[in-house]
Amino acid sequence: MKKDFLEGKKIAIVCDWIKDLGGAELVLAQLLEIFPEADIFTSVFFQKNNTIFTGRNIKTSYIQKIPILNKSHKLALTMRPKAFERFDFSNYDIVISSSSAESKGVITKPEALHICYCHTPTRYFWSHYHEYLNMMEFGLLNPIGKWLMPKIVHKLRIWDFCASKRPDFFIANSKNTKNRIKKYYKREAEVIYPCVEIEKFIFNAEKEDFYLYVGRCIPYKKFDLIVDAFNKNGKKIIIVTNTDNKLYRKLKSISKENISWKLNIKREEIYELYSKAKAFLFPPEEDFGLVPIEAMASGTPVIAYGKGGALETVVSGKTGIFFSEQTINSLNKAIEEFEKMSFDANEIRDYSKNFDKKIFKENILKFIEEKLENKKIPI
């Protein structure tokens, strides 16, 4: 698709933070490929060695200069709203915020077009507030922290709702997220699914006798469920993560011999594991979830928790199956059911092409062109 309509337009891409490479960061990489001349604004940046950002003009907030706070989402929570409001977008014609937190709250000039690609309304303010509150630990200050956080979050939730009125248009990464945007922000959104580069993945119809899970080792990704389930069923699984933290070390220490961990391995090795695994496990409730598509691009079926974004990417009986509860018994029952079934690797690979980057690029450009032509800013 031609980009003549962008000629002479100065573009900024804004994201909450650039630290670990998760799904939101992969979407950012695709946006940068579509808009190679765009400037990047973010609260903190810790990916200097990543070639995605080589030669990019990256502007960080004042939080970047504050030790400890710059590496902690939790500790910098109250600072990020002001940090994003301080960015000056006076010279930009198009602003695209890739947001699951505060970046949608930037202030643009009246005639600028601000589009928010929303990964989710902020989970720890809205849909998963109580879950996050229960997970938070403050060490010796835990009683004070548990008492104080609801008061802090209440004020930030009000700011977040106000910030949701600043984008002119919303794009949601899934129907699941679209429904949340409607419920919490009272805004309409168009769904444009994230993408993967299908051609990069190794297709293999012959699978080996192991399961696979790939992700950041943080609580809501449910690594603990995987470890507990496979400690019980004794089946072979390889778990891949780029997160060396307290949870990772704890789970690795209690894992039995059938569970293998791989930390910070190259993408090429992950692609190989995708292609060889008999199935990919996906236990979290995600807003969308790119990794099941990566597995399917390799012809590998997915065993997913039947809630959230997975319902929009996995087709039961065709590209995988679902389990109904995030429990050991429910997951292991699904694995037993899976092992009685057969899947067509070619059919799975073909289905994954619905999420190819070419489609994402065309949809994003079409959306922006339409909004620029119409110049209608919704109330």
Q: Where in the chain are all domains bearing CATH 3.40.50.2000?
A: 4-195+357-374, 198-354
Percentage of the chain with pLDDT > 90? 83
* Residue at 195: amino acid letter: C
- Residue 330 contacts by C-beta under 8 Å, 6 or more apart in sequence? 323, 324
Q: State residue 50's pLDDT score.
A: 85
Mean pLDDT (the chain, rounded): 94
- Architecture field, domain 4-195+357-374: 3-Layer(aba) Sandwich (3.40)
Q: Is 161 left (phi over 0), alpha (psi -120 to 50) or beta?
A: alpha
Flag whether pLDDT at 107 surpasses 50: yes
Binning pLDDT at 50, 70 and 90, where does residue 143 land? confident
Q: Which whole-number Å values give the CA distances from 164 to 106, 115, 171, 186, in the listed order?
A: 10, 11, 12, 9
Flag whether pLDDT at 379 surpasses 50: no
Flag whether pLDDT at 148 surpasses 90: no
Binning pLDDT at 50, 70 and 90, where does residue 376 land? low
Contact present, 290 and 313 (Cβ < 8 Å): no
Residue with tokens 């190819």: 356
Q: Which whole-number Å values give the CA distances from 201 to 173, 275, 296, in the listed order?
A: 22, 8, 9
Q: CATH fold of 198-354, please? A: Rossmann fold (3.40.50)
pLDDT tens column, 261-315: 999 999 999 999 999 999 999 999 999 999 999 999 999 999 999 999 999 999 9
- Find the angle CA(197)-CA(279)-CA(342) to the nearest 5 degrees: 110
| Residue 237: DSSP 8-state | E
- Find the angle CA(275)-CA(313)-CA(52) to the nearest 5 degrees: 65
Binning pLDDT at 50, 70 and 90, where does residue 72 land? confident
Torsion of CA 300, 21, 132, 222, to 10 degrees: 30
Helix axes 223-233, 246-254, angle to 10 degrees: 0
- Residue 120 contacts by C-beta under 8 Å, 6 or more apart in sequence? 100, 127, 173, 177, 180, 287
Closest CA to 27 of 172, 170, 183: 172
Binning pLDDT at 50, 70 and 90, where does residue 201 land? very high
Burial of 186 (0-12, 13-18, 19+ CB in 10 A): exposed
Region 190-212: what's the mean pLDDT?
A: 97
Region 132-149: what's the mean pLDDT?
A: 74
d(CA 9, CA 91): 10
Q: How many CA atoms lie within 13 A of 109 on its CB side?
A: 12
